[in-house]
Amino acid sequence: MVEQPKIHLEHVGFTYNATSATTGAEPVEALKDVTLSIPPHAITVIFGPSGGGKTTLLRLINRLNDMLSGTRRTGQVLLDGQDIYAHDVSVVELRRRVGMVFSLPLPIPGTVRHNVTYGLQLAGMRDQTVLDNALVRSLQQAALWDEVKDRLDDPATALSGGQQQRLCIARSLALEPDVLLLDEPTSGLDPISTAKVEHSLMELKKHYTIVIVPHSVQQGARVADYAAFFLMGELMEAGPGRQVFINPKNKRTEDYITGRFG
Amino acid sequence: MCGARMNDQEQQPRREARVEPVSTARGLGQGRDHHWGEFLVENAIRVLGFSAIGFVVLIFLFLLQEGLPTFFRVELPILFGQRWYPTFDLYGTMPLILGSVLVTIVAIAIALPLGVATAVFVREVAPNWAREILKPMIETLAGIPSVVLGFFGMTIVAPLVRDVLGAPTGLTAFTGALLLAYMSLPTIISVAEDALDAVPKSYRDAGLAMGATRWQTIWRVVVPAARSGIITAIMLGMGRAIGETMAVMMVTGNAARMPVTADSLFRPVRTMTATIAAEMGEVARGSTHYHVLFGVGIILFVLTFMINLAAASVIFQKRRRGGLR
pLDDT in tens, chain B (325 residues): 444 444 444 444 444 444 444 444 555 555 555 688 888 999 999 999 999 999 999 999 999 999 998 888 888 888 888 899 988 888 999 999 999 999 999 999 999 999 999 999 999 888 888 999 999 999 898 888 889 999 999 999 999 988 888 888 889 999 999 999 999 999 999 999 999 999 888 888 888 888 888 888 898 889 988 888 898 888 888 888 888 888 898 999 888 888 888 888 888 999 999 999 999 988 988 899 999 999 999 999 998 888 888 878 876 765 544 443 3
- Chains A and B form CB pairs within 8 A to the count of 78
3-class SS at B272? helix
Annotate B37-103 with DSSP letters as a single string: HHHHHHHHHHHHHHHHHHHHHHHHHHHHHHHTTHHHHS-HHHHTSS-EEGGGTEE--HHHHHHHHHH
CA of B228 to nearest chain A CA: how many angstroms apart?
Answer: 12
Q: Which long-range contacts (CB under 8 A, 24 or more apart) does A123-130 make?
A: A123/A96, A123/A175, A123/B211
Q: pLDDT category, A1, cuts 50, 70, 90?
A: very low
Torsion angle, alpha carbons of B174, B176, B181, B187, to 10: -160
**Nearest CB to B322 within list A102, A157, A171:** A157
Quick one: average pLDDT of A121-137?
A: 88
Using the Cβ of A159 and the Cβ atoms of chain B, whether some distance falls under 8 Å is answered with yes
Closest CA to B171 of B163, B159, B179, B181: B159
Contacts of A110 in chain B (CB under 8 A): 224
CB-CB under 8 Å, B207 with A108: yes
Question: Are residues B224 and A110, on separate chains, in Cβ contact within 8 Å?
Answer: yes
Interface test with B, best of A95, A112, A167 (most B CBs within 10 A): A95
pLDDT for B257 equals: 86
CA closest to A156 among chain B residues: B322
Q: Does A99 touch chain B (CB under 8 A)?
A: yes
Verify whether the Cβ–Cβ distance B325 to A157 is below 8 Å: yes
Per-residue pLDDT at A3: 66
CB < 8 Å to A104, chain B? 200, 202
Q: Which residue of A has its CA nearest to B205?
A: A64
Whether residues A64 and B225 touch (CB distance < 8 A) is answered with no
B227 has a chain A CB within 8 A of its CB = yes
Radius of gyration for the alpha carbons in chain A, expressed in angstroms and rounded: 19
Q: What is the pLDDT of residue B240?
A: 85
Q: Between residues 113 and 152 of chain A, which touch chain B (CB distance below 8 Å)?
A: 118-119, 122-123
What is the nearest CA distance from A170 to chain B, expressed in angstroms?
A: 11
pLDDT of residue A21: 56
- Residues A159 and A107: their CA atoms lie apart, in Å, by 10
Distance from CA of A133 to the nearest CA of B (A): 18
For residues A69-73, give the mean pLDDT: 83
Which among B209, B225, B321 has CB closest to A62?
B209
Q: What values do phi and psi take at B20, rounded to 5?
A: -60, -55
Q: Are B273 and B249 in contact (CB under 8 A)?
A: yes
- Distance of residue B124 Cα from the nearest chain A Cα, in angstroms: 11
Q: What pLDDT is recorded for position B296?
A: 93
| pLDDT tens digits for range A204-254 | 888 899 999 998 889 999 999 999 999 998 999 999 988 899 888 888 888
Query: Cα distance from B204 to chain A (closest Cα, Å)?
Result: 10
Q: Who among B200, B212, B216 is closest to A106 (CB)?
A: B200
Please report residues of B whose CB lies closer than 8 A to that of A168. Answer: 206
Give A175's contacts in chain B (Cβ within 8 Å). Answer: 210-211
A227 forms bridges with which residues in the sheet? Answer: A45, A239
Do A95 and B209 lie within an 8 Å CB cutoff?
A: yes
Q: What value does the mean pLDDT take over residues A117-145?
A: 88
Mark which residues 45-84 of A lie under 8 Å from B by CB.
62, 64, 67, 69
H or E element in which residue B7 lies: helix B2-23
Q: Does B219 touch chain A (CB under 8 A)?
A: no
Q: Are strands A7-16 and A72-79 parallel, antiparallel or unpaired?
A: antiparallel
- What is the Cα B221 distance to its own chain's centre? 27
Shortest alpha-carbon distance between residue B320 and chain A (Å): 9
Say which of B127, B213, B321 has its CB closest to residue A155: B321
Nearest to A99 among B209, B213, B221 (CB): B209
What is the strand order of the sheet A226-231 is part of? A98-101, A179-183, A209-213, A43-47, A226-231, A234-240
Of B206, B204, B203, B212, the C-alpha closest to A181 is: B206
The pLDDT assigned to B185 comes to: 93
Smallest Cβ–Cβ distance between B210 and the set A110, A157, A172 belongs to A172
pLDDT at B263: 84
Residue-level pLDDT at B6: 44
Give the span between the Cα atoms of A99 and B209, in whole angstroms.
Answer: 6
Position A45, amino acid: V
Write out the DSSP string of B224-263: HHTHHHHHHHHHHHHHHHHH--HHHHHHSB-----TTSTT
Residue A154 is which amino acid? D
* Residues of A in Cβ contact (< 8 Å) with B209: 62, 64, 95, 99-100, 102, 172
Q: Is B323 close to A157, i.e. CB distance below 8 A?
A: yes
Cβ contacts (< 8 Å) between A171 and chain B: which residues? 210
